Structure 1
Amino acid sequence: MRTDKLHIYIYIVSTILVLSMLYRIMKVNTENTLFVEKKDEYYKETAHNTILEENLYLEYERYVTTLQTNCNNISRCGPKGDTGYDICVDPLYKPKRPCLVYSFGSHYHFEFEDGVHKMFNCQIHTFDPSIPLAGHSIPKHVEFHLIGLSNFDHHTIFGWEMKTLASIRRYLNHSFTTLDILKLDIEGDEWKAIPQILSTISNKYIKQIVLEVHFGRHTNKLKDDGYRRFNLNNWGDTDSFTQINVLKQLKHHGFNIFKWAINPRSKLRLQHSSKGSVFTMHIISLKNINVLN
């Protein structure tokens, strides 16, 4: 009798152990399946987001490389490369004394200003708060200001003084003076500054804008293959969709592209497009078809 009970006990214990092992195996397999499914969902979502982002890059490149108006006479102020800019010198747009030029972003490179001075002898104001003045030489034909352009007046955490275009124009007594050329190369801050400029009547007194556009996200340093890679942060802390809308606002307010050029150092590889790559920085020249004289 005792032997039978012992056999039954051993059978029950063995069955419990086997069932326990089977449960653990099934649980691990289930968890692995769920992990794989979640991993697949993550990669699908990541790929989907990447495709959407790449489509915005393609839309951006199509937009800035499509001419919206014509300029019959174009002059280069400054050398070839990213320190010179193309401006329209058709009769309505050609700077004539007394003429006024604002140049935002210089890093103490004044080739553009030198070209403007040589060709038109305008009053030139250059603005850049990012580097102290000490140790730098300013050309005699340039009035230099340690002020940056923004969508509101403030000081940054670096101590830089930032102002709106309207505030700067008031400060210099230029509120209703025609601005012959507005040059912007402000490392992504254009996405905040431009909507503020367009929201005021003073945009009617700007004849033309030359602008280096920094689109999408910051990119890492140029790789050995000649391409850059995505970074995490957007230029100007502004999403790509909004950036495209800002460019469209320029056209809505009369600023039409008549010339464009790529920044060759901004080539970005695309993973899901047959095009293969885009450039994320362009220099565009725009004339204001609604300008008030």
Structure 2
Amino acid sequence: MYLKSIRLFFRTLKREFNKWRGKAPRVKLQIKRPYVHLGSDYGGWSILKDTLNAQSVVFSFGIGTDISFDLALINEYGVTVNAFDPTPNVSAWLKQQQLPVQFHYFPYALSHKDEVLRFYTPDRLDYISHTIIDKGTDKYVEVQAKCLTTILKEHGHTQIDLLKMDIEGAEYKVIEDILQSKIKIKQLLVEFHHQMYGITTEQSEKAILALNQAGYQLFDISETGYEYSFVKI
């Protein structure tokens, strides 16, 4: 318990320092609920404790080659994880893994509308994350993307218990679409990409405010100030 308190202190200190430097949105935790952190240091997320079961509807957008969070959800709660990522090489990498039957993979992207997107390649060869943000180069692949309403219809669901998205800059328009469509989502985990791809901290603050106004309250922010966990009140 002591070590956990020390870790939490330094985590909060780092987060506040990033906000002071203007590197993270100037927002605070808005609700206190017990939560757990699942997955690796790189790919892990915080979710509310004891809120999922085998019947929960879970969607995970942007998985890359770190699926530790998705596997932890399956191991802890027996849920089926619907995982999405059109990034080149992800499909081939998954075929080399020993995956549980509850892990369902779909090779397309989440967007604010059904469309074919240009997915721009990372600048570094050892990076896997692609982005829809136009880098002014011809280094891209075209991928199929769908809005959340379409995806829910295809999967036969009307609401979501847990939605995670790490979609490299596409989250801002997707959040607008989610709020306009009034899709019911109990927990929403978002990685914002301020200070990347030309995205400003103010854009993330605006998106968080819009979620707040729709009833989503923050219960955890990562120490880096990029990963945000919301619960719908």
Normalising to structure 1: TM-score of the pair?
Answer: 0.60
Residue type of the partner of 2:32?
N
Task: Say whether the 8 Å CA contact 1:86–1:259 is kept in structure 2.
Answer: yes
53, 59, 66: which is aligned to 1:109? Answer: 66
Aligned mate of 1:58, from 8, 22, 25: 22
Q: Tell me whether 1:253 sits opposite 2:226 in the alignment.
A: no
Contact 1:76 1:87 in 2 (8 A): yes
Give the gaps of 5 or more residues in structure 1: 1-54, 219-232, 264-280
2:156 is aligned with 1:199: no
Code of the residue aligned with 1:288 in structure 2: it is K
- Give RMSD over aligned pairs: 2.3
SS in 2 for 1:246: helix
Q: Secondary structure at the match of 1:256?
A: strand
Work out whether residues 113 and 146 of structure 2, in 8 Å CA contact, stay in contact via their aligned partners in 1. yes
The aligned counterpart of 1:129 is 86
Which protein, 1 or 2, shows the higher relative CO under an 8 Å CA cutoff with sep ≥ 6? 2
Cα deviation, residue 201, structure 1:
2.3
Cα pair distance change 1:160/1:57, threshold 3 Å: farther
Specify whether residues 103 and 160 from structure 1 end up closer, same or farther in structure 2 by C-alpha distance, changes over 3 A only.
Answer: same
Give the 3 Å change call, closer, same or farther, for CA 167–242 of structure 1 in structure 2.
same
Give the alignment's TM-score, normalised by structure 2: 0.74
Checking the alignment, whether the CA contact within 8 Å between 1:149 and 1:165 is kept in structure 2 is yes
Whichever residue aligns with residue 81 of structure 2, its letter is: I
Q: Corresponding residue for 1:76?
A: 37
2:59–2:83 Cα contact (<8 Å) kept? yes
Other-structure match for 2:198: 234
Q: Distance in 2 between matches of 1:181 and 1:234?
A: 29
Give the structure with higher Rg (CA).
Answer: 1
The answer as to 2:143 corresponding to 1:160 is yes
Sequence identity (%): 24
CA contact (8 A) 2:38 2:46 kept: yes
CA distance in 2: counterparts of 1:77 and 1:196, whole angstroms: 28
The 5 Å alignment of 1:1-293 reads 58=22, 60-63=24-27, 66-71=28-33, 73-79=34-40, 81-89=41-49, 94-132=51-89, 133-137=91-95, 139-140=99-100, 141-157=102-118, 158-174=141-157, 176=158, 178-202=159-183, 205-216=184-195, 218=196, 233-235=197-199, 240-263=201-224, 281-289=225-233
**Equivalent residue of 1:75, what SS?**
strand
Q: Which runs of 5+ in 2 are unaligned?
A: 1-18, 119-140
Deviation at 1:57, TM superposition (A): 7.0
